[in-house]
Amino acid sequence: MGMWSIGAGALGAAALALFLANTDVFLPKSRRATLEYLEDIDLKTLEKEPRTFKAKELWEKNGAVIMAVRRPGCFLCREEAADLSSLKPKLDELGVPLYAVVKEQIRTEVKDFQPYFKGEIFLDEKKKFYGPQKRKMVFMGFVRLGVWYNFFRAWNGGFSGNLEGEGFILGGVFVVGPGKQGLLLEHREKEFGDKVNLVSVLEAARKIQPQTSASETK
């Protein structure tokens, strides 16, 4: 009887742990970024002779949609990149550029990611776009039903990837208006494969009010 009680208790504890792992109770908490925080981020171009510049250059005149890529070789990230790229014709009509930032450049990982993403890609070595409070998901990600659903969705969509690079720091998507219009959308990935809503991205992009120069207003 004692062994049965121990076994039942262990089974109950495991069931409770599995249940809690599939709620938002233990998900890493995020802190919203401010425009000032994002503006001051240092980014690098991926050329042979990289140029370092402040992130605000990306959206200063026309705003921007920016994907903070968790890992270029991840098939879930490639799926989201392809989804965002499907919006590019509409973003082009609005005059809003599409960009991505990565946190590391390993071998051909960024090059292999480019067929999925139809915008320029920059390096965020200090991982600032993944902050101000960096969030990680490690082993809990593999017991979440939502993550497994995302896995199967991407596999069924024909996406594949590899295990190169750091993939535990969660990414996100931002829509930023020009000048001081500020953040119009901030999507923080809560688990592996938690994609941004494309309708929300377009709605935010349509709110962008491009900056006009003094000569244009005369």
DSSP string, 99-113: EEEES---TTHHHHH
145-156 and 75-85 helices, crossing angle to 10°:
60
State the DSSP string of 41-62.
-EEE--SSS--EEEGGGGTTTT
Q: Where are the alpha helices (DSSP H) in the chain?
A: 2-21, 35-39, 75-85, 88-94, 109-113, 145-156, 198-206, 214-217
State pTM to two decimals: 0.85
Query: What was the pLDDT predicted at 19?
Result: 42
| pLDDT at position 135 | 86
For residue 140, CA distances in Å to 8, 74, 146, 190, 200 come to 23, 17, 11, 12, 28
Residue 87 pLDDT greater than 80, yes or no: yes
Residues β-bridged to residue 67: 100, 173
Predicted confidence (pLDDT) at residue 22 exceeds the cutoff of 90: no
Catalytic residue, candidates 64, 74, 91, 98: 74
Report pLDDT digits (tens) over 165-179: 999 999 999 999 999
Average pLDDT, integer, range 76-102: 98
pLDDT exceeds cutoff 60 at 24: no
Q: Which residue is catalytic, options 55, 76, 77, 123? A: 77
Q: What is the pLDDT of residue 20?
A: 41
Whether residue 215 has pLDDT greater than 60: no
The answer on pLDDT for 105 being more than 80 is: yes
Inform me whether the pLDDT recorded for 153 exceeds 80: yes
Please give the average per-residue pLDDT across 18-36, as a whole number. 64
- Confidence (pLDDT) at 13: 41
**Residue 120 predicted with pLDDT over 90:** yes
Question: Average per-residue pLDDT in the chain?
Answer: 86
| pLDDT at 89 > cutoff 70 | yes
Which pLDDT score, from 0 to 100, does residue 195 have?
96
Distance CA 110, CA 136 (A): 21
Say if CB 94 and CB 206 are below 8 A apart. yes
- Whether 74 sits among the annotated catalytic residues: the reply is yes
pLDDT band at 111 (very low <50, low <70, confident <90, very high): very high
Whether 170 is catalytic is no
Structure confidence at residue 37 (pLDDT): 96
Residue 76 has pLDDT above 50, yes or no: yes
